[in-house]
Amino acid sequence: MADRASEAVRWAAFDRLRAGRAIAVADLAADVQFGMDELGEVLGGLVAAGLLERDTDGIVVGSHGLTLRPTVHHLVLDGVALHTWCALDAVAIPAALGVDAELTTCCGWCDQSLRVTAVAGRPRGGEELRVWVPGMDCENVLEQFCPFANLFCGSDHLEQWRVGAGEPPGHACTVTEIADLGPTWWSRDPDCCTPGAGEGQPW
């Protein structure tokens, strides 16, 4: 789902979430200047596709990889404590924004605590770490892509996980490679990630 209305909603939600604030639907409607019926339809499609997250009260708590819901991926983004849907998000988002960040997560194989520091969006160290980029088609990004887009201590632990998981499709990247792709994957240009426009979002 990449139509302009959906993208406008996702980015408006992302901007509020980046400040650490959950978003009432009425406030989101004012931000994007949509009627409540139109916004409700867009929100329903985004949630169904796993591209936006709401809590049990209907409040928007996640968008474009950022979430206020606690996850294993803790991200201090430009001084604001947040979480992300996956480790890939936590590396790519600071790179896209060009801001300082601190990611704390766990190895997807051994559960060892891992930390990545970014300065102006660029990872400092951690070149032995590997990020798994799933390659399967998915109907719901949050449920089917994000649980597998994890960080690993190194290539050996990633390979052990991959074999144990039945050798799922996808590929491994260093944190620097993910940071290089972040500005494209999180571009606000509506034509940036369309087919033929280069490295589109992996989901």
Q: Are 158 and 108 in contact (CB under 8 A)?
A: yes
Mean pLDDT for 103-126 is 98
**What DSSP letter does each residue of the chain carry, written as one string?**
---HHHHHHHHHHHHHHHTT--B-HHHHHHHHT--HHHHHHHHHHHHHTTSEEE-TTS-EEEETTEESS--S-EEEETTEEEEESSHHHHHHHHHHHT--EEEEEE-TTT--EEEEEEETTEEES-TT-EEEEE-S--S-IIIIIGGG--EESSHHHHHHHHHHTT--SEEEE-HHHHHHHHHHHT---TTTTSTTSSS----
Looking at every residue in the chain, the average pLDDT score rounds to: 93
Q: In this predicted structure, what is the pLDDT of residue 203?
A: 65
pLDDT digits over 86-102, tens only?
Answer: 999 999 999 999 999 99
| 4-64 matches 74-185 in fold | no
Q: In this predicted structure, what is the pLDDT of residue 200?
A: 58
Q: Does pLDDT of 160 surpass 60?
A: yes
Task: Map out the domains of the chain as residue ranges.
Answer: 4-64, 74-185
Pick the CATH number of 4-64 from 3.60.70.12, 1.10.3720.10, 1.10.10.10, 3.40.50.720: 1.10.10.10
User: What are the two backbone dihedrals, phi and then psi, of residue 179, each rounded to the nearest 5 degrees?
Assistant: -65, -35
Q: In this predicted structure, what is the pLDDT of residue 194?
A: 37
- pTM metric for this prediction: 0.93
The third-level CATH classification (topology) of the domain covering 74-185 is: Beta-Lactamase (3.30.450)
Q: In this predicted structure, what is the pLDDT of residue 85?
A: 98
